[in-house]
Amino acid sequence: MVEIDAGNTFVKWRKVLSGGSFRYGKFETARLNNSNGLFSDCYGCAASSDDVLISSVLSEDQTRKMISLLRQYFLGRIYLARVVNGLAGVCVAYEKPDSLGVDRWLVMIAAYRNISHAKGLCVIDAGSAITADFIAKSGQHMGGCIMPGRKLLNSALSINTQRVRVSEGQGGVLDFGGSTEECVGAGLQHMVLGAMSRLISVTNRMRFSHVVITGGDGEALLSLDSGEARLLYIPDLVFVGLSNVHELGGLIEV
């Protein structure tokens, strides 16, 4: 089985190996326009009989292009995730449930289905954008929020100011900086951690029991004081959701 998480910045994949272990890979989403060898580490030298499960927030055209590429190398069935309201007991708050990002839906399914005895959840996906969704004990999605992540905030500063520049990954966890680069790093850290602290405060006020964090920047949030709520970091939550939805028959064969 191969699971694919196609995001706005990266396409990430996870191959399920014998014994329950995994092999991982990723490439920049922009490289879909130059498709040679993108999944070479995944399929090896010969066509693979693996089934492929896909989560994609890309345009319909980009998703079709990726599926066409996958058909060249995978002989198994290809499945695409679409939001199915009510699956696994999770009821989406949106008036039009299918307008919810499929990646947000998958992490909600994964968290709700796999964290036993939860008395409500806040699920935070910290990637290029940061999303947070609240799910009651009943499975009712209460709603959520979307905000720019560190890289988007950094990009906004670089684009809209003449002399403020900082390379990605520069600046550690700082209260304040001694150079422009360090000041930007500290400022971004304050903005992201401040927003996360407020979300955790909302979680506690609602008497929800867990804050579940995933995404490439998620591990940096583990230092936060979570109050009464339990803080969990699960890096592969989209993949877990894909696998869960497939088990429940909720994916579409394409």
pLDDT tens profile 141-186: 999 999 998 888 877 777 666 666 665 554 456 678 888 778 888 8
Q: Give me the CATH topology for the region 88-237.
A: Nucleotidyltransferase; domain 5 (3.30.420)
Residues above pLDDT 70, as percent of the chain: 89
Q: Is the sign of the CA dihedral 102, 103, 104, 108 positive or negative?
A: positive
Q: Establish whether domains 2-81 and 88-237 are of one fold.
A: yes
Cα–Cα distance, 181 to 170 (Å, whole number): 7
Cα–Cα distance, 6 to 176 (Å, whole number): 35
Q: Which range in 36-40, 160-164, 195-199, 213-217 is most confidently predicted, on average pLDDT?
A: 195-199
- Residues 187-210 have a mean pLDDT of 92
Contact 150, 217 (CB under 8 A): yes
Q: Supply the pLDDT for residue 171.
A: 47
Cα–Cα distance, 232 to 122 (Å, whole number): 10
User: Which DSSP helix (H) or strand (E) runs through 26?
Assistant: strand 22-28
Locate tokens 């979570």: which residue?
226
Q: Supply the pLDDT for residue 46.
A: 52
Lowest mean per-residue pLDDT among 23-32, 41-50, 139-148, 150-159: 41-50
Segments making up each domain of the chain, as ranges: 2-81, 88-237
Q: Give me the CATH topology for the region 2-81.
A: Nucleotidyltransferase; domain 5 (3.30.420)
Q: SS3 of 72, please?
A: coil
Is residue 204 predicted with pLDDT exceeding 90? Answer: yes
Q: Supply the pLDDT for residue 37.
A: 65
